[in-house]
């Protein structure tokens, strides 16, 4: 990950929601870095050196198994952060955080992050709310994967990726989708073909384009809207410490 010029103000929704006087104290400790495709921001069972507040692109939180299989259990984009164990007074996790769409993030070293949680109550309060919201996304993903049809789950995933991108077109392969959804590649191919024939998406050369967002939302299960509402809660609640 390479460094890049720091913008005037963060685009990350968490950082933007931090009380202004606290954000001024955070900015000198934030280092803007590039996030190339497949970069690992969090390694399983490895002490975390830093947290990442995603500015653009998105990261998949992935659970792996002994047989080499893996499945996505959550996704983090400009609405959130990677490194929640450090927020919860730990430094290890069993999940891998892998960049799935390239972009940038504000990196904050673990010692500085822990110090900020103590000194900046508005910042800490906001991140605790986000942790609950992200937990809800992970729990809903598990329930969705166990109950809903693959076509619905694929539509939900594409919508979540679209929410975190700046364009209607973004990179993805059937192999990667199969890993994200925890299914065989052949199943993803059939489901993606059905969405494409219905005119909801267009897929070519490892890139997907959302061509009919309203109908794609209609094709997804209710889990998409449940998670979307939960993602707004950290930003909708009043923060007494931020006044």
Q: Percent helix, strand and coil across the chain, each rounded to 5?
A: 45, 25, 30
Considering only residues 8 and 163, tell me which one the structure prediction assigns the higher pLDDT: 163
Considering only residues 198 and 2, tell me which one the structure prediction assigns the higher pLDDT: 198
Spatial separation of the C-alpha atoms in residues 216 and 235, rounded to whole Å:
26
**What is the residue extent of each domain of the chain?**
13-144, 149-220
| Residue 115 pLDDT > 90 | yes
CATH T-level fold of 149-220 = Arc Repressor Mutant, subunit A (1.10.10)
Q: Which CATH superfamily is domain 13-144 in?
A: Jelly Rolls (2.60.120.10)
55: Cα within 13 Å, side-chain hemisphere: 21
Average pLDDT on 137-145 reads: 93
- At 120 the three-state DSSP class reads coil
Residue 216, strand partner residues: none
- Give residue-wise pLDDT tens across range 20-43: 999 999 999 999 999 999 999 999
Tokens of 122: 């508005």
| Residue 241 pLDDT > 70 | no
Spatial separation of the C-alpha atoms in residues 233 and 129, rounded to whole Å:
8
Consecutive H or E run containing 74? strand 70-76
- Give residue-wise pLDDT tens across range 143-160: 998 899 999 999 999 999
Q: Is 88 exposed, middle or buried (CB count within 10 Å of its CB: 0-12, 13-18, 19+)?
A: exposed
Spatial separation of the C-alpha atoms in residues 77 and 54, rounded to whole Å:
6
Confidence label for 173 from pLDDT (cuts 50, 70 and 90): confident
Confidence label for 239 from pLDDT (cuts 50, 70 and 90): very low
Q: pLDDT at position 242, please?
A: 40
Question: Per-residue DSSP letters for 167-232?
Answer: SSEEE--HHHHHHHHTS-HHHHHHHHHHHHHTTSEEEETTEEEES-HHHHHHHS-THHHHHHHHHH
Q: What are the C-alpha distances in Å from 54 to residues 59, 93, 108?
A: 8, 19, 11
Share of the chain above pLDDT 90, in %: 78
Confidence label for 111 from pLDDT (cuts 50, 70 and 90): very high
Q: pLDDT at position 238, please?
A: 54
Question: Are 13-144 and 149-220 the same fold in CATH?
Answer: no
Average pLDDT on 196-201 reads: 97
Other beta carbons less than 10 A from residue 112's beta carbon: 16
Given a contact cutoff of 8 angstroms between Cβ atoms, the answer to whether 73 and 140 are in contact is: no
Q: Could you identify the residue written with the tokens 């913008």?
A: 7
pTM of the model: 0.90
Q: pLDDT at position 123, please?
A: 97
| Residue 7 pLDDT > 80 | no
Q: pLDDT at position 204, please?
A: 87
Other beta carbons less than 10 A from residue 83's beta carbon: 23
**Crossing angle for the helix pair 150-163 and 121-147, to the nearest 10 degrees:** 160
């Amino acid at each position: 990950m390479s460094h890049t010029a720091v913008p005037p103000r963060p685009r990350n929704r968490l950082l933007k929601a931090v009380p202004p006087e606290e954000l001024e104290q955070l900015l000198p400790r934030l280092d803007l870095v590039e996030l190339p495709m497949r970069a690992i921001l969090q390694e399983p069972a490895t002490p975390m050196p830093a947290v990442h507040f995603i500015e653009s692109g998105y990261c998949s939180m992935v659970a792996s198994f002994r047989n080499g299989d893996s499945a996505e259990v959550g996704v983090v984009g400009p609405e959130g952060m990677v490194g929640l164990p450090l927020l919860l007074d730990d430094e290890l996790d069993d999940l891998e955080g892998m960049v799935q769409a390239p972009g940038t993030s504000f990196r904050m070293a673990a010692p500085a992050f822990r110090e900020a949680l103590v000194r900046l109550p508005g910042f800490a309060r906001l991140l605790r709310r986000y942790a609950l919201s992200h937990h809800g996304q992970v729990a809903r993903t598990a329930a969705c994967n166990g109950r809903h049809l693959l076509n619905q789950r694929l539509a939900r995933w594409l919508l979540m990726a679209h929410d975190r991108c700046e364009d209607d077109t973004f990179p993805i392969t059937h192999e990667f989708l199969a890993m994200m959804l925890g299914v065989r590649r052949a199943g993803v191919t059939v489901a993606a073909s059905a969405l494409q024939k219905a005119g909801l998406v267009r897929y070519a050369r490892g890139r997907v384009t959302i061509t009919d967002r309203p109908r794609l939302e209609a094709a997804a299960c209710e889990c998409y809207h449940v998670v979307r509402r939960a993602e707004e809660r950290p930003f909708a609640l009043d923060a007494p410490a931020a006044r």
